[in-house]
Structure 1
Amino acid sequence: MTAKTTLISGSIFMALAVAFGAFGAHIVEGMLTPERFEVYKTGVDYHFYHALGLLILGAISINIPENNNKWLSWSGYCLTAGILIFSGSLYLLTLTDTGWLGAITPIGGLAFIFGWIFLAIGVLKNSKLTDTESD
């Protein structure tokens, strides 16, 4: 993912997180048991965290040449997949009462984990992101 694509994706996912959060607070909460609503809220929380992660990733990537950021690119793909799979499966699970969707939720969690690991590797391997000491 390019820095621009990552920033656009992060912005869109942030807007959607706000929408899903508002939808949950104003419409969904009264339709679900308290336990199922907690599951929905978990989806919204992780959606927010990782959309923000995409924005941070995009900001980090902005001055790095595209051919030098494969790890950062993979980080973006994984965070995006995590939002879609983890949060998406929790939204669908709670709204449709389709229990089998809970079986794919951990795949999204793994995508989140790999996304953060790939970000760390990308930062470690990138010569443009060096430690500097200031007096």
Structure 2
Amino acid sequence: MIALAVLAALSGAIAVGAGAYGAHGVSGEAAEWLRTGAHYQLVHAVAALALLSRPGGAVAGWLFVAGGALFAGTLYAMALGAPRWLGAVTPIGGLGLIAGWVVLAVAALRT
């Protein structure tokens, strides 16, 4: 649980930095990718931290952290000049985020 808490907290820090860079360091499509990635990553970092002691929270938290890293990370990479084909990987991270919410729903039904 400590590793998840540390990674979720670092994920939140990265999201704030990416969002700030998107707001002040770039413009156009790159700024939008940074804002979108930061928004999703920050929401899921906070959710992962909030769920640490809840049923299903650890599994959902790991899905949120991993999915957020993949989703936001590919957007950040493209904003910094990586090839656009990397955007085809972004939905895999999104599936991780969705899976985290499904895990929470199932855990809630079981309690």
Q: TM-score, normalising length from structure 2? A: 0.85
User: What is the alpha-carbon distance in structure 1 between the residues aligned to residue 99 and residue 107 of structure 2?
Assistant: 12
- Give the conservation status (yes or no) of the 8 Å contact 1:10–1:51: yes
- 25, 43, 46: which one pairs with 1:49? 43
- Give the conservation status (yes or no) of the 8 Å contact 1:50–1:79: yes
Structure index of larger Rg: 1
Unaligned runs of 5+ in 2: none
Describe the shift of the 1:72–1:49 C-alpha distance in structure 2 as closer, same or farther (beyond 3 A).
same
- Give the conservation status (yes or no) of the 8 Å contact 1:43–1:86: yes
The 4+ residue runs of structure 1 with deviation greater than 4 A are none
Indicate yes or no: 2:108 matched with 1:114. Answer: no
Return the offset for 1:90: 0.3
Hey, what does 1:14 align to over in structure 2? 12
Unaligned runs of 5+ in 1: 62-68, 127-135
Question: How many pairs are equivalent?
Answer: 111
- Give the conservation status (yes or no) of the 8 Å contact 1:57–1:119: no
Indicate yes or no: 2:23 matched with 1:25. Answer: yes
Q: Give deviations 1:96-121, integer Å, cap 9, x for gaps.
A: 14111100000011000001111222
